[in-house]
Amino acid sequence: MTLLDKEPVKRVEKLLKEFNPNQEVIALDKSARTAREAASSLGCEVGAIVKSLLFKTKKDFVLCLVAGDKRASLNKIKKILKFKDVSMASAEEVKIITGYTIGGVSPIGHLSEVDIYIDNSLKRFNSLFAAAGHPNCIFEINFEDLEKITKGKIEELTE
């Protein structure tokens, strides 16, 4: 069994192909668990790596897509969501809600429906790279298509 045969990766690939038949999941030889590792493996800027960060509120979960060279601002996220109580989801919650383990959380194909917010700083790049269900699997996408495939809301999410 290769990485591309794993169920979480297949889930991402199916949605990518439905969105655009030319989209594909790329299996890397090296880990892309962190934005720095992914950028190193791909030979791109760290900022072109999409970090998928799951946050929890009193009521539910939201996924924030943030550039690899930026830090999510909890204060900005709280203001956008209009909640005082917002925190990072635990590794177990990430697995339950998204179906992915940390380091391989894709912006698409989650087990539970979550609202998605996209940081506007990602617009800087012609090509973005996001996790595809496994720490060694990614896919390339442009900002406009990322917005369309995730139905994400564009906001300023970083410090």
Please write the tens of the pLDDT for every residue from 141-155: 999 999 999 999 999
CATH of the domain at 119: 3.90.960.10
Helices (H), 58-142: 74-81, 91-98
Domain count, the chain: 1
pTM of the model: 0.96
Neighbours of 129 (CB within 10 A): 23
Residue 107: name the closest of 73, 156, 64 by CA.
64
Domain of 93?
3-155
Please write the tens of the pLDDT for every residue from 13-68: 999 999 999 999 999 988 788 899 999 989 999 999 999 999 999 889 999 999 99
